[in-house]
Amino acid sequence: AVTASEPTTTQVRLRPEIAALPPYRQGRPAPADGFKLSSNENPWPPVAAVAEAITAAANEVNRYPDATALALRERLAERYGVTSDEVLVGAGSVSLLAQFVLAAAAPGDEVVYSWRSFEAYPGLVTVAGATSVQVPNRPDHGHDLDAMAAAVTDRTRVLIVCSPNNPTGVPVTTDDFERFMASVPADRLVLLDEAYAEFVRDEASVDGSSLIGRYPNLVVLRTFSKAYGLAGVRVGYAIGPVPILDAARATAIPLGVTAVATAGALAALEPANEAELLGRVDELAERRDALRESLIAQGWAIPAAQGNFVWLPTGERTVEVAEALFAGGIVARAFPGDGIRVSVGEPESVDVLLRLLGELV
Ligand code: PMP
Q: What is the CATH number of the domain that holds 125?
A: 3.40.640.10
Q: Looking at the CA of residue 307, tell me the nearest atom of ligand 1.
A: 5
Residue ranges, the chain, pLDDT below 50: none
Nearest CA to ligand 1 atom 4: 195
Q: Looking at the CA of residue 93, tell me the nearest atom of ligand 1.
A: 16
Nearest residue to 263 via CA among 99, 49, 40? 49
Query: What is the reported pLDDT for 27?
Result: 80
- Environment class of 348 (CB within 10 Å of its CB; exposed 0-12, middle 13-18, buried 19+): exposed
Query: What is the reported pLDDT for 28?
Result: 86
Query: What is the reported pLDDT for 4?
Result: 56
Query: What is the reported pLDDT for 25?
Result: 79
Residues 280, 341, single domain; the answer is: yes
End-to-end distance of the chain based on CA atoms, in angstroms? 43
Residues 102, 28, single domain; the answer is: no
Domain range spanning residue 106? 58-270
Residues 307, 244, single domain; the answer is: no
C-alpha to C-alpha distances, 126 to 133, 165, 192, 226, 250, nearest whole angstrom: 11, 21, 20, 26, 19
Domain boundary among 270, 287, 320: 270
Residues 239, 118, single domain; the answer is: yes
Distance from Cα 40 to the centre of ligand 1, integer Å: 9
Residue of 25, 72, 99, 118 to mutate, ligand 1, most atoms within 8 A of C-beta: 118
Query: What is the reported pLDDT for 23?
Result: 86
- What ipTM does the predicted assembly reach? 0.99
Distance from Cα 116 to the centre of ligand 1, integer Å: 15
